[in-house]
Chain A
């Protein structure tokens, strides 16, 4: 009965590789997000999708490509991984968008990516 799930939980890979992280939510929410938490624990938005449509793309390198096959899933594909991509990536979801500032975002458990 996990609300927001991510796979894998840990990802260790070599520089230059391509990898994907998957996210699924069973809360019936319309909007999903990817956040990056760096080594200093700072969290920053990367992307958001509402009903499969890209809403936010926060100046992320185009090596990062989100894909939303349906509103319950949001995957993150990363090409040509670099050392600086090492971080924790969180998926989140919320009920609505467009000024619905009251809506809580619920986070997945995070994916710890280490690029060697």
Chain B
């Protein structure tokens, strides 16, 4: 079974609008971390935002926020006031905790976001 699912292969958004990129996850470990990374066309992987399984509040970093719904096992990324430079692939990833005791990030298949003027 997929541990991280990103159901939107591609998304379009107009500049200055907000966009939500979906991510659902599956784990039996009560402790886990959820991460979003951005990969622009230049290829590097840029860390955007982190949400821990025990965090009471949704994470925010500038224009990025994470809509964390633990019961639904979803961790959607919200980008507010989109900019042309936000056009990129976005990856959701999970790192499981001590019960699973693995050190790796498990990635989703990514969503390609295109911002148009």
A binding-site residues for B, Cβ under 8 Å: 31, 33, 35, 40-45, 48, 50, 55-56, 58, 88, 90, 92, 97-99, 101-110, 112
Report yes or no: A104 in contact with B47, Cβ–Cβ below 8 A: yes
Which residues of B1-57 are within 8 A (CB) of A?
31-33, 35, 37, 39, 43-47, 50, 52-53
With A43-B91, A44-B107 as contacts: A98 and B43 at CB distance below 8 Å? no
Report yes or no: A88 in contact with B50, Cβ–Cβ below 8 A: no
In the complex, what residues of A have CB within 8 A of residue B39's CB?
Answer: 41
Report yes or no: A101 in contact with B104, Cβ–Cβ below 8 A: no
Cβ-based interface call for B105 (8 A): yes
In the complex, what residues of B have CB within 8 A of residue A108's CB?
Answer: 44
In the complex, what residues of B have CB within 8 A of residue A55's CB?
Answer: 103
Query: What distance in Å separates the Cβ of B21 from its nearest Cβ neighbour in chain A?
Result: 15
Report yes or no: A110 in contact with B31, Cβ–Cβ below 8 A: no
Q: In the complex, what distance in Å separates the CA atom of A88 from the CA atom of B42?
A: 12
In the complex, what residues of A have CB within 8 A of residue B104's CB?
Answer: 33, 45, 48, 56, 58
In the complex, what residues of B have CB within 8 A of residue A99's CB?
Answer: 31, 97-98, 101
Q: In the complex, what distance in Å separates the CA atom of A50 from the CA atom of B102?
A: 12
Report yes or no: B107 in contact with A101, Cβ–Cβ below 8 A: no
With A90-B45, A109-B43 as contacts: A104 and B35 at CB distance below 8 Å? yes
Which residues of B82-117 are within 8 A (CB) of A?
89, 91, 93, 95-98, 101-107, 109-110
Query: What distance in Å separates the Cβ of A103 from its nearest Cβ neighbour in chain B?
Result: 8
Which residues of B37-83 are within 8 A (CB) of A?
37, 39, 43-47, 50, 52-53
In the complex, what residues of A have CB within 8 A of residue B107's CB?
Answer: 42-44
Q: In the complex, what distance in Å separates the CA atom of A31 from the CA atom of B103?
A: 9
